[in-house]
């Protein structure tokens, strides 16, 4: 019996040692640095490309990157007791504090994979692997432009203050996405449903919030994300109150099955539900989306199978 207990003690001691070594690695080892395979890319901007890039950036990126100065100078955008504190990057043209030293290829690589020019991972929210080449080019053109929001400003966000859980996620779960092997073209606008799918999943990435959780989203095959467009993702409003994302499937009880296209448009643009109540933050008003884009997204959402989602708030 003593021999058995001794063997069990060795086994338990070995397991404890493995756990302690693993915890020490997570806590003290530096975050991974990835190889940057910069594509040979040189954007030729024109006024139309810059304008479209401004529309995308000020709709998609400004919510997290706009500082108190009104420029895209970065700010504290995540402060979680378990994950830690994260500051968004300075996207101005400042050569040291911002992205002034980035080449077009380095910007494209970061936008698609989430990997910065120094090899550090910016995080999955930065990555847009399925966005069309023309939209990536538009973003880069705007970031290079004379727009006031991107003019050089020496605002240097603090380094991330990541806690154990955050380090665990960054080292074991969050990984860079692959850079496309070939051209990425959007579907023709004449195919309304296909175009609506592109807008909802690849360009504006509505599914990221309106699925079950960020952790279970599939950025390379959005339709495989858990709870795809059925909502329930626990988002946080400015007061740090948990707000589950809405169900955008055509379920008549928990989704938008009883909505009209006009009501959907009002909710997206003006944050007004059919009953007159406001859509809660962190959902911003998407005023830059065109009538054609909203009609296409609406048409696509009507094709998704209805899902009854008790986790999503009443729509």
Shared-domain flag, residues 167 and 197:
no
What are the residues whose beta carbons fall under 8 Å from the beta carbon of 308, sequence distance 6 or more?
251, 253, 254, 255
The verdict on residue 28 lying in a domain is: no
Strands in the chain per DSSP E? 76-80, 84-87, 161-162, 234-236, 242-244
137 and 253 in a common domain: no
Contacts of 39 (CB under 8 A, 6+ apart): 105, 108, 109, 179
Q: What is the pLDDT of residue 86?
A: 86
DSSP state string for 137-159: HHHHHHHTS--GGGS-----PPP
pLDDT of residue 82: 78
pLDDT for 120 equals 92
- Segments forming the whole domain that contains residue 103: 47-172
Q: 106 and 201 share a domain?
A: no
What is the pLDDT tens value at each position of the chain, 315 positions in all?
666 666 666 677 777 777 778 778 778 888 889 999 999 999 999 999 999 999 999 999 998 899 888 899 999 887 877 788 888 999 999 999 999 999 999 999 999 999 999 999 987 778 899 999 999 999 999 999 999 999 999 999 888 888 888 888 888 888 899 999 999 999 999 999 999 999 999 999 999 999 999 889 999 999 999 999 999 999 888 777 888 999 999 999 999 999 999 999 999 999 999 988 988 888 888 999 999 999 999 999 999 999 998 766 666
How many domains does the chain contain in total? 2
Last residue within a domain, chosen from 114, 143, 172 = 172
In a domain, 32, yes or no: no
pTM for this prediction: 0.91
- 159 and 222 in a single domain? The answer is no
Is 186 contained in some domain? no
What is the pLDDT, as a whole number, of residue 4?
Answer: 61
Same domain for 292 and 206:
yes
CB 61 within 8 A of CB 138: no
Helix (H) / strand (E) element for 97: namely none
Within-domain flag for 55: yes
- C-alpha 270/C-alpha 273 separation (Å) is 9
pLDDT of residue 1: 61
117 and 223 fall within a common domain:
no
**Which residue, of 113, 139, 172, is where some domain finishes?**
172
Please check whether residue 31 lies inside any domain of the structure.
Answer: no
């Amino acid at each position: 019996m003593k021999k058995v207990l001794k063997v069990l003690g060795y086994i338990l001691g070995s397991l404890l040692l493995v756990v302690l070594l693993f915890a020490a690695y997570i806590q003290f080892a530096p975050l991974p640095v990835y190889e940057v395979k910069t594509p040979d890319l040189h954007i030729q901007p024109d006024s139309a490309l810059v304008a479209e890039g401004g529309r995308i950036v000020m709709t998609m990126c400004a919510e997290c990157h706009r500082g108190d100065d009104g420029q895209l100078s970065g700010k504290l955008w995540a402060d979680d007791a378990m994950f830690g504190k994260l500051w968004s990057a300075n996207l101005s043209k400042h050569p040291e504090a911002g992205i002034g030293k980035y080449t077009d290829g380095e910007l494209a690589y970061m936008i698609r994979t989430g990997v910065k020019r120094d090899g550090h991972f910016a995080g999955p929210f930065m990555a847009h692997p399925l966005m069309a080449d023309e939209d990536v080019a538009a973003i880069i053109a705007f970031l290079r432009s004379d727009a006031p929001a991107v003019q050089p400003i020496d605002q240097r966000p603090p380094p991330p203050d990541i806690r154990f859980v955050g380090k665990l996620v960054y080292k074991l779960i969050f990984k860079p996405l692959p850079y496309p092997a070939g051209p990425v073209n959007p579907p023709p606008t004449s195919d309304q449903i296909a175009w609506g799918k592109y807008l909802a999943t690849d360009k504006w990435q509505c599914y990221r919030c309106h699925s079950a959780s960020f952790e279970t989203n599939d950025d390379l095959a959005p339709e495989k994300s858990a709870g795809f467009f059925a909502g329930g993702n626990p988002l946080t409003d400015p007061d740090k109150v948990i707000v589950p994302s809405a169900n955008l499937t055509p379920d008549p009880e928990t989704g938008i099955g009883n909505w009209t296209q006009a009501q959907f448009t009002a909710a997206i643009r003006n944050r007004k539900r059919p009953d007159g109540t406001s859509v809660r933050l962190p959902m911003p008003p998407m005023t830059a989306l065109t009538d054609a884009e909203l009609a296409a997204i609406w048409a696509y959402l009507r094709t998704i199978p209805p899902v009854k989602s008790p986790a999503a708030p009443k729509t």
